[in-house]
Amino acid sequence: FKGAMTEVSQLDHKALIEMHNYLTSVYEEGDARSMLIGVVQALHHPLSGVDIVSHTSIVIHFLSHLFSRFLPQV
C-alpha cells in the first residue's frame, strides 16, 4: 500500500491528485494516545512534508473506531 501511495504521489508532477487516507483506531475518540499522534502529525507534516505514519507525503487522518457508525451519512 505504501508503495502505491508513493508511486502515485511521485507521478503527480502538477499536484492534481489529492489523496486522503483514513486510519481507524481501537482507542476511543479523545484518548491521550490518539490525541498525541494527531498533535505530532499536525506539527510534523507542515514542517517536513512527510507523514509520521506512512513516511510519505500523503497525510493520514486518524479516526475513531466508531467511524463505521457515521459512514452511511458521508
In a domain, 73, yes or no: no
39 falls within a domain: yes
Domain enclosing residue 63, as ranges:
1-68
Q: Which long-range contacts (CB under 8 A, 24 or more apart) does 2-10 make?
A: 2/54, 2/55, 2/56, 5/54, 5/56, 5/58, 6/56, 9/56, 9/57, 9/58
Asked if residue 74 belongs to a domain, the reply is no
Whole-model pTM over 0.75: no
Q: Is residue 58 part of a domain?
A: yes
* Average pLDDT score over the chain: 77
Percent of the chain with pLDDT over 90: 3
Counted domains in the chain: 1
Looking at the predicted structure, is the pLDDT value of residue 45 above 80? Answer: yes
